[in-house]
Each structure stands twice: as structure tokens, then as C-alpha cells.
Structure 1
């Protein structure tokens, strides 16, 4: 599960305030427009991470052997499958 909407909004304020305070950064849009774009970027990344986790879980449950969630074997497979999905997405970008 990803970040809550409230956490994304909070992070968007933190990020845009930090950028606004940096003399090397000039916003080409209003502060709020930039903040809203940060929220949208966080939402997209969170949704993508949720999809990756869903695919990893689906791979584990589709295996012939019944693997109990939380077991060392499950944790290893989950980590492996999550990384495989992330690698696939990195290659596509």
C-alpha cells in the first residue's frame, strides 16, 4: 500500500517549499501548480508501486507450492519478484 493522499499533500508542501527557498531554482509555474504536479507525480509512483506489489503477490500465489505469507521463503520470493517487476519497468522507460 502506498502513501495516503494526506501524506502526499504534506510531502508536496515540503518539496515545493524547499525548492522555492533555493535561489538556484525558479518556478515556471505558480507555487501551487508546482505543488499539484508533485502530488500527481507521487500519486503515479504510488500507483505503480502498488501494481508491482500486486504482480509479485500474484506470482507467489500462482505457484504450485503453497507458500505462507511472512515465511522466509515468501519474503525472498516477494523481494525477487518485486525487483524483477521494477527492472521490467526501468527497461521500458
Structure 2
């Protein structure tokens, strides 16, 4: 999933604000916490992109018609399986 730098920054701020408001964490260095949140989001989104590419190539090799009901069912199944393998 491609997100702009602004969206990633916005999401990072929302995450940190939520953690702080719920009194789950105190940040000794807010700038460092924000940087870490941005990096984590970027890593998470890059895994989704990698898995998406892998699954699309797999379905293409099986000669499935993109967008068909069968393609979507297999895509969802393979995506879940691959993400399960990569669970952190």
C-alpha cells in the first residue's frame, strides 16, 4: 500500500497521541518516538507490498483472470497464508 509521507506522518501522530492520551506510555523524546512510529509503519506497509506482489505473480503463473471471483478468493487465501508466515 502506497501512502504519502504526509499520511504516514499523520498516522504516526495519531498513534502516538492515542498512546499518550490512554496513558500507556510517556515519551522522553517525542521526536524520536515519532521517528520510530514512522519507521514501523513504513516497514509494515512494505511487507504488505511485498506479499501483494508475490501473490499477484503466483496467480499470474496459474493463469487466473485478474478480478474474477476465483482470483479474488485465491488472492485472499494466499495473502492470509503468507502474512501468517511473516507474523512478527
* TM bracket, shorter-chain basis: 0.7 to 0.9
Q: Runs of 5+ in structure 1 lacking a partner?
A: none
Structure with higher Rg: it is 1
Number of equivalent positions: 88
For residues 17-73 of structure 1, the C-alpha deviation after alignment (integer angstroms, 9 at most, x for no partner) is 22233444222x31111011000000000000100111110110111xx32111101
Q: Aligned-residue CA RMSD in angstroms?
A: 1.6
Divergent runs of 4+, >6 A: none
1:9 and 1:30 map into 2 onto residues whose CA distance is 16
Q: Runs of 5+ in structure 2 lacking a partner?
A: none
Counterpart contact for 1:2–1:46, Cα < 8 Å: yes
**Secondary structure, aligned partner of 2:67:** coil
Question: Normalising to structure 1: TM-score of the pair?
Answer: 0.83
Counterpart contact for 1:2–1:49, Cα < 8 Å: no
